[in-house]
């Protein structure tokens, strides 16, 4: 007997066969072949209430020219009544039934939704076109592909002497997008570190170019900062239009930030600041991600993925390495999954800021312990003895990934 293959949207809305519309139920399979915006919103959210009418107007305009465009509302409202009123009064599109709360939570994790309103644009097969659909749908032509890497950075670059360069100077090189600001001592201190590394690499004829994207408050601070830099920068006059697209492209959440990529924008290392600090001569350039990193090197990433942390600062270096090796095979497999990874694996071999902060928020007393921290699950965490061998390490990870086999969930304070 022949089997019928499931389309992309049936996989995305796994477990739900029909969606809600004001004209009646809509089969999920009807979305296959369409451009679809997944809209995360809620009536209690002020920015959502402001954005939804604007989106509704835009939706109506787009549907006239592109009838195969659709939006699906995924509610973060606190009860079914609030969902129903918000949907009825504000939205001309279709919606995921409110009862499908588990699926809504899974899709929030899948698309790494950290705040609302959020609009994720998907193609005809359910693959992501634009993670920042709010901006895309308002500023880009249908079907709202994000700006290219070169469009994000603009056409003109300068050095501190005022010499101008175009993309012919950059193509084929490894690039570092550096975001900083003169007013912050930590950021300015890292500029000094990066100058040392950059100059050391230039002396070895390594084809590496840094582009400064200033987050300075005014042009005077910006000019003062670039005078310390031997690399290129985006001119001040262009930053107003380019800064936010670049920040979205590189996932900039804090400064200083250093995003290493190929000249076509393909990422190599999205969080290079701590790697540069530990490698002032640039010997490990281009600082490709390691299977297991120090917790202080993945501060930005722990917001996106559950993270296993080996707290072991009281152990000897030999013992720390032995424990790390128990998880190495799993960590390599997860690294190969890229953005589809299920878990990060990190060490806390020293009493650094992030390790101590997590200890304080969790109330963990033991000096040597394994923890799986799940920031995407509202700061839940689980603790374990450090495994005796690689087999036990594998079992620990599998028990966590199988939700029915987890140990008792605990909660970070102030999350």
What pLDDT, on the 0 to 100 scale, is given for residue 7? Answer: 64
What pLDDT, on the 0 to 100 scale, is given for residue 338? Answer: 85
Answer yes or no: is pLDDT of 116 > 70. Answer: yes
**Pair 36, 108 in one domain:** yes
Answer yes or no: is pLDDT of 4 > 50. Answer: no
Q: Which domain holds residue 92?
A: 8-139
Structure tokens at 76: 């973060």
Structure tokens at 360: 């304080």
Given 222, 253, 278, which residue is the final one in a domain?
278
**Pair 129, 16 in one domain:** yes
Outline where 46-147 has alpha helix (H).
46-65, 80-90, 101-110, 133-139
**Pair 186, 257 in one domain:** yes
In a domain, 286, yes or no: no
**Pair 272, 333 in one domain:** no
Q: How far apart are CA 154 and CA 332, in angstroms?
A: 36
**Pair 331, 259 in one domain:** no
Burial zone of 291 (CB within 10 Å; 0-12 exposed, 13-18 middle, 19+ buried): middle
**Pair 185, 92 in one domain:** no
Q: Model pTM?
A: 0.80
**Pair 264, 329 in one domain:** no
* Type and span of the H or E element at 320: helix 317-326
Q: What is the CATH number of the domain that holds 59?
A: 3.40.30.10
Closest CA to 38 of 141, 112, 147: 112
Q: Average pLDDT of 151-172?
A: 95
In a domain, 2, yes or no: no
**Pair 54, 159 in one domain:** no
Answer yes or no: is pLDDT of 195 > 90. Answer: yes
Closest CA to 217 of 242, 259, 184: 184
In a domain, 333, yes or no: yes
Q: How far apart are CA 73 and CA 90, in angstroms?
A: 11
What pLDDT, on the 0 to 100 scale, is given for residue 353? Answer: 78
Given 109, 139, 169, which residue is the final one in a domain?
139
In the chain, pLDDT over 90 holds for what percent of residues?
Answer: 79
Given 254, 278, 302, which residue is the final one in a domain?
278
pLDDT tens digits along 208-228: 999 999 999 899 999 999 999
Answer yes or no: is pLDDT of 187 > 60. Answer: yes
In a domain, 372, yes or no: yes
Instruction: Enter the DSSP assignment of 403.
Output: G
**Pair 33, 67 in one domain:** yes
Answer yes or no: is pLDDT of 351 > 80. Answer: no
Answer yes or no: is pLDDT of 114 > 90. Answer: no
- Cβ neighbors of 411 (< 8 A, separation 6 or more) are 378, 379, 380, 381
In a domain, 285, yes or no: no
**Pair 272, 300 in one domain:** no
**Pair 98, 158 in one domain:** no
What pLDDT, on the 0 to 100 scale, is given for residue 296? Answer: 80
Number of folded domains that form the chain: 3
In a domain, 284, yes or no: no
In a domain, 145, yes or no: no
Q: Are 327 and 345 in contact (CB under 8 A)?
A: yes
What pLDDT, on the 0 to 100 scale, is given for residue 6? Answer: 53
What pLDDT, on the 0 to 100 scale, is given for residue 354? Answer: 85
What pLDDT, on the 0 to 100 scale, is given for residue 189? Answer: 95
What pLDDT, on the 0 to 100 scale, is given for residue 2? Answer: 33
Q: How far apart are CA 253 and CA 255, in angstroms?
A: 7
pLDDT tens digits along 40-96: 999 999 999 999 999 999 999 999 999 999 999 999 999 999 999 999 999 999 999
Answer yes or no: is pLDDT of 257 > 60. Answer: yes
**Pair 126, 20 in one domain:** yes
In a domain, 107, yes or no: yes
pLDDT interval class at 3 (50, 70, 90): very low
pLDDT tens digits along 303-317: 888 999 999 999 999
């Amino acid at each position: 007997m022949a089997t019928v293959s499931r389309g992309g949207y049936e996989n995305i809305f796994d477990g739900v066969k029909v969606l809600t519309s004001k004209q009646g139920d809509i089969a999920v399979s009807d979305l296959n072949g369409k451009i679809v915006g997944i809209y995360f919103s809620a009536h209690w959210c002020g920015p959502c209430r402001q954005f939804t009418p604007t989106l509704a107007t835009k939706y109506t305009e787009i549907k006239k020219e592109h009838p195969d465009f659709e939006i699906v509302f995924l509610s973060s409202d606190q009860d079914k009544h609030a969902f129903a009123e918000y949907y009825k009064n504000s939205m001309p599109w279709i919606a995921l039934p409110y009862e499908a709360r588990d699926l809504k939570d899974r899709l929030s994790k899948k698309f790494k939704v950290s705040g609302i309103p959020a609009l994720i644009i998907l193609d005809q097969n359910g693959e992501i076109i634009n993670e920042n659909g709010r901006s895309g749908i308002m500023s880009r032509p249908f079907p709202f592909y994000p700006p290219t890497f070169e469009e994000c950075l603009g056409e003109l670059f300068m050095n501190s002497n005022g010499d101008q360069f175009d993309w012919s100077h950059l193509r084929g090189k490894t690039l570092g997008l550096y975001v900083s600001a003169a007013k912050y001592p930590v950021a300015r201190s890292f500029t000094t570190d990066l100058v040392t590394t950059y100059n050391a690499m230039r002396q070895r004829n390594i084809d590496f170019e840094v582009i400064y994207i200033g987050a300075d408050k005014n042009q005077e601070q910006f000019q003062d900062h670039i005078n310390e830099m031997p690399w290129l920068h985006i001119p001040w006059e262009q930053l107003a239009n380019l800064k936010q697209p670049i920040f979205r492209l590189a996932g900039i959440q804090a400064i200083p930030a250093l995003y290493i990529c190929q000249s076509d924008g393909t990422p190599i290392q999205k969080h290079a600041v701590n790697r540069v600090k530990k490698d002032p001569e640039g010997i490990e350039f281009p600082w490709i991600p390691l299977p297991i990193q120090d917790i202080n090197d993945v501060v930005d990433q722990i917001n996106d993925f559950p993270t296993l942390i080996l707290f072991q600062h009281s152990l000897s270096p030999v013992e720390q390495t032995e424990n790390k090796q128990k998880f190495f095979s799993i960590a390599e497999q997860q690294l190969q999954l890229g953005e589809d990874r299920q878990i990060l694996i990190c060490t806390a071999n020293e009493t650094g800021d992030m390790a101590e902060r997590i200890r304080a928020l969790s109330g963990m007393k033991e000096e040597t312990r394994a923890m799986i921290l799940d920031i995407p699950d509202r700061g839940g965490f689980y603790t374990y003895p450090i495994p005796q061998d690689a087999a036990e390490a594998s079992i620990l990870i599998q028990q966590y990934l199988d939700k029915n086999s987890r140990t008792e969930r605990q909660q970070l304070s102030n999350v």
